[in-house]
């Protein structure tokens, strides 16, 4: 599930105080702005230096030069120009924004937050873009509550931007909110973006309940990671006599990889659609005669949910890429299972009809290049290491309290956390401070940042004895990686999908006893495991075969269940069409 990245620049200042004659000076400024707008960056930089030679006290000219130099890929010079602007005008917001963008580009996230917050202090009337970007960085740093406030401010400033609205909804899933509250927030999205200007036309699809169906998959994830793990069965285990597969890839060609090429070769039809607007994409899907359109993004990054309001397919489904419903009346179904979404208690959390597959609601293709599982790390280190490789955004205050209690019950244990933002010393210090506030000494935490290669990332799991699931937003890909690398996972089952994925996955591999119903039981299960190294070793050395032989990896079973669900959805639509036909 990927986050949108903040842009690296903001518009240049178009005015500057100067002692030069107005006519020549203003003409130079216009030429500089025109050169920048036309992409002639060296020319723009030269013109700004010429202007500054005549008036080196113009803060906005130093700011503009700084942004041009940043676009030219000369960060040291850009930084110096922006700082000179601030020496002249410390309350000038734009250089603070620029320096924050520079810090973000180098993954100095703690500094990014401080610099952009200083820009807002200098000028509280910032545009939605800066609030959105600040929210993205705060979310990356594990500050979900603060991020939600930033996204909320951005949404109020730009209420017509579905990207901002979706990002806020994604962020709210990290917080301890009820399913009812989250449903109300998702309905707000539908109120604004779920009603197209023109009513959708009737579908021309032939309402034959048993014919071969055209399934359309809409996603940005036809690539390594989520695609490699969970989408492979859609292609390799599908019944091609009964189902035709057409993919609508939002992924730019520049981001395609070997998995993209494999999926493209295996699909019956392939459309690269990121360049199309909503109407164009909806028209293409309708023209392709798609019977069932499956959205694989939900409100995660780079989604195209507004096109679903145009109802390009008779049956529309959401699945996999987002731990909640869409909130949209135009989406008829959401695919889950009875553990992730128990009958009765969770049906009222979604606008969509919940279609429950036999658990689990997904199928995992283990990585073929994963390193071997090593013997119990505690045998070599002399202490138990708990761990989580989930995003810091999932490490809420409630999760910190959960994990702190585990560490208290196992006094000599350590906690290993891994996420890319932990490469930033300021972000790492912030995590240590949060655990210190919960009574855990900072030196009991091992914090690991970015590891470039996939094999190295998976090998790092060999440092963990017991994995801890965050709450209320559980891991999914991370959990599958954890189990494949031999570490048992302790999870707390909550009241909504995001807080029950761990329960679904653990039940599917035959370890429901590692699912806790209360925070106290969560800590107790973790402590009991840590106190029985023999059991822990047996679980570890048998985990890979347990996973391989489980429902979690049974691709044929999963696809039979998924395609049966598709057929039932289609028959229901055909029944509705028959009911509308003249007698």
| pLDDT value of position 5 | 40
Sheet of strand 315-318: strand arrangement = 269-272, 243-249, 213-219, 292-295, 315-318, 333-336, 353-356
Output b/e per residue, 167-200; b: 16+ Cβ within 10 A: bbbbbbbbbebebeebbebbeebbeebbebeeee
Structurally, what CATH architecture does the domain formed by 213-356 represent?
3-Layer(aba) Sandwich (3.40)
Mean pLDDT of 270-288: 97
**Parallel, antiparallel or unpaired: strands 466-468 and 292-295:** unpaired
Distance CA 546, CA 320 (A): 23
Residue 22 has pLDDT above 80, yes or no: no
Q: Does this chain's domain 213-356 share its CATH topology with 377-553?
A: yes
Percent of the chain residues topping a pLDDT of 70: 95
Structure confidence by residue, pLDDT tens digits, 26-45: 899 999 999 999 999 999 99
Domain 377-553 has CATH 2.40.110.10: no
Q: Give the residue among 394, 377, 374, 398 at the shortest CA–CA distance from 386.
A: 377
Distance separating alpha carbons of residues 572 and 575, to the nearest angstrom: 5
Residue where the block lists tokens 């696809």: 559
The per-residue pLDDT for 125 is 95
Q: Which of 37, 87, 42 is CA-nearest to residue 62?
A: 87
| Tokens 């553990």, located at residue | 339
- Burial of 438 from C-beta contacts in 10 A (0-12 / 13-18 / 19+): middle
Give the pLDDT of residue 470. Answer: 98
**Contact at 8 Å (CB) between 328 and 251?**
no
**pTM (2 d.p.):** 0.94
Rg (CA), the chain: 26
What residues form DSSP beta bridges with 218? 248, 295
pLDDT tens, residue by residue, 256-268: 999 999 999 999 9
For the chain, give the mean pLDDT: 94
25, 53 in Cβ contact below 8 A?
no
pLDDT value of residue 220:
95
Per-residue confidence (pLDDT) for residue 397, from 0 to 100: 96
pLDDT digits (tens, 9 = 90+) for 515-524: 999 999 999 9
Q: What is the DSSP string of 363-416?
A: -----TTPPPPPSPHHHHHSS-EEEE-S-GGG--HHHHHHHHHHHHHSTT-EEE
Would you list the domain boundaries of the chain? 1-126, 130-172, 213-356, 377-553
User: Taking residues 490-508, what's their average pLDDT?
Assistant: 98
Percent of the chain with pLDDT over 90: 91
* Residues in contact with 506: Cβ distance below 8 Å, sequence separation at least 6, in sequence order: 489, 491, 512, 514, 515
Q: Which residue has the tokens 């949060």?
A: 434
Q: Provide the 3-class DSSP secondary structure of residue 336.
A: strand
Q: What is the largest CA-CA distance in the chain?
A: 85
Integer Cα distance of 284 and 344 in angstroms: 38
Question: Could you give the CA distance from residue 221 to residue 510 in angstroms, rounded to a whole number?
Answer: 29
Who's near 5: CB < 8 A, 6+ residues apart?
136
Fill in the DSSP letter of residue 239.
-
Q: HSE, CB side, 13 Å, CA atoms: give it for residue 482.
A: 29
* Res. 16: pLDDT tops 60: no
pLDDT tens readout for residues 314-366: 999 999 999 999 999 999 999 999 999 999 999 999 999 999 999 999 999 99
**Distance between CA atoms of residues 350 and 341, nearest Å:** 10
Alpha carbons 390 and 387: distance in angstroms, whole number: 9
pLDDT band at 453 (very low <50, low <70, confident <90, very high): confident
**Which of 570, 577, 564, 560 has the alpha carbon at shortest distance from 292?**
570
Q: How do residues 53-98 score in pLDDT, each as one tens digit?
A: 999 999 999 999 999 999 999 999 999 999 999 999 999 999 999 9
Kind plus residue range of the DSSP H or E element containing 315? strand 315-318
Indicate the fold that domain 1-126 takes in CATH: 1.25.40
Task: Establish whether the linkage from the previous residue to 360 is cis, with ω within 30° of 0.
Answer: yes
Neighbours of 433 (CB within 10 A): 10
Give the model's pLDDT for residue 6. 39
Contacts (Cβ under 8 Å, ≥6 apart) of 66: 78, 79, 80, 81, 82, 85, 95, 98
């Amino acid at each position: 599930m990927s986050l949108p990245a903040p842009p690296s620049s903001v518009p240049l200042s178009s005015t500057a105080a100067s002692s030069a004659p107005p006519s020549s000076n203003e003409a130079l400024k216009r030429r500089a702005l025109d050169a920048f707008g036309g992409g002639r960056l060296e020319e723009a930089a030269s013109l700004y230096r010429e202007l500054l030679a005549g008036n080196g006290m113009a803060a906005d000219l130093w700011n503009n030069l700084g942004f041009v130099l940043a676009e030219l890929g000369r960060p040291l010079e850009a930084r110096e120009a922006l700082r000179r602007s601030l020496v002249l005008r410390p309350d000038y917001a734009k250089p603070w924004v620029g320096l924050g963008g520079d810090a973000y580009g180098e993954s100095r996230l703690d500094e990014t937050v401080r610099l952009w917050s200083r820009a807002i202090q200098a000028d509280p009337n910032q545009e939605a873009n800066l609030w959105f970007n600040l929210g993205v960085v705060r979310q990356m740093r594990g500050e979900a509550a603060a991020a939600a406030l930033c996204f909320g401010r951005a949404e109020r400033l730009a209420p017509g931007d579905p990207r901002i609205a979706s990002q806020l909804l994604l962020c709210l899933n990290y917080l301890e909110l009820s399913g009812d509250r989250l449903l109300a927030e998702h309905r707000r999205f539908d109120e604004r973006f779920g009603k197209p200007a023109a009513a959708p036309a009737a579908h021309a699809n032939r309402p034959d309940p048993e014919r071969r169906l055209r399934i359309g998959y809409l996603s940005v994830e036809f690539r390594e990671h989520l695609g490699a793990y969970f989408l492979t069965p859609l292609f390799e285990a599908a019944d091609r006599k009964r189902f035709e597969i057409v993919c609508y890839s939002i992924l730019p060609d520049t981001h395609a990889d070997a998995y993209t090429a494999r999926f493209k070769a295996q699909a019956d039809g392939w459309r690269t659609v990121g360049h199309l607007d909503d109407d164009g994409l909806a028209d293409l899907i309708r023209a392709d005669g798609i019977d069932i359109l499956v959205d694989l993004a939900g409100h995660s990054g780079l989604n195209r949910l507004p096109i679903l309001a145009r109802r390009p397919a008779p049956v529309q489904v959401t699945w996999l890429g987002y731990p909640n419903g869409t909130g949209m009346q135009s989406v008829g179904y959401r695919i889950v299972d009875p553990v992730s979404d128990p009958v009765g208690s969770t049906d009222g959390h979604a606008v969509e009809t919940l279609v429950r597959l036999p658990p689990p609601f997904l199928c995992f293709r283990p990585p073929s290049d994963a390193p071997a599982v090593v013997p119990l790390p505690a045998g070599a280190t002399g202490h138990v290491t708990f761990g989580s490789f989930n995003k810091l955004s999932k490490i809420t205050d409630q999760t910190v309290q959960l994990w702190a209690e585990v560490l208290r019950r196992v006094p000599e244990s350590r906690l290993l956390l891994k996420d890319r933002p932990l490469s930033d010393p300021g972000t790492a210090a912030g995590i240590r401070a949060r655990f210190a506030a919960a009574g855990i000494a900072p030196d009991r935490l091992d914090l690991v940042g970015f590891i470039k290669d996939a094999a190295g990332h998976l090998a790092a799991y060999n440092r963990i004895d017991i994995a801890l699931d965050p709450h209320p937003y559980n891991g999914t890909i991370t959990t599958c990686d954890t189990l494949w690398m031999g570490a048992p996972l302790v999870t707390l089952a909550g009241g909504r999908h995001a807080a029950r994925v761990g329960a679904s996955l653990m039940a599917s591999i035959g370890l429901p006893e590692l699912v806790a119903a209360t925070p106290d039981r969560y800590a107790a299960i973790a402590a009991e495991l840590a106190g029985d190294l023999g059991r822990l070793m047996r679980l570890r050395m048998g985990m890979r075969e347990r996973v391989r032989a489980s429902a979690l990896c049974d691709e044929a079973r999963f696809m039979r269940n998924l395609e049966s669900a598709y057929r039932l959805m289609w028959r229901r639509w055909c029944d509705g069409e028959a009911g509308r036909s003249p007698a």
